[in-house]
Amino acid sequence: MFKRLERGGPTVRFRFEDEEIEAVEGESVAAALLAAGIDTFRTSPLGPARAPYCMIGMCFDCLVSIDGVENRRACQVAVAPGLSVRRQSGARRVG
């Protein structure tokens, strides 16, 4: 869906579902996923598929699971080496 303006710069590798994604240091997880062509981030507890809308932490539509913690705003978290990111499926689980 998105492409990077510039090449180069230090990169970071992390996992999304079962694939490895290469991101640029300093990017948000949401940006890295959008640059990798991921266009659906979650299904809402009410069913429909959603993806980032506002990119500034307001809309809560970019929710993903990061390192086992569900419902995290992908636009508010910076990529880091080795992160394990998964789609958020419906409401988060407790316990």
Residues at the site binding other proteins, with contacts judged by CB under 8 A: 1-6, 24, 26-28, 31, 34-35, 37, 39-41, 44-61, 69, 71, 75-76, 78, 90-95
- Residue 14 C-beta: closest distance to other proteins, Å: 15
Contact criterion met (CB below 8 Å) for 73 and 57: yes
The smaller minimum CB distance to other proteins, of residues 55 and 86, is found at 55
CB of 22 to other proteins, least distance (A): 14
Tokens representing 90 are 């419906």
Q: Tell me how crowded residue 92 is: count the other CB atoms within 10 A of its CB.
A: 13
At residue 66, the 3 state secondary structure works out as: strand
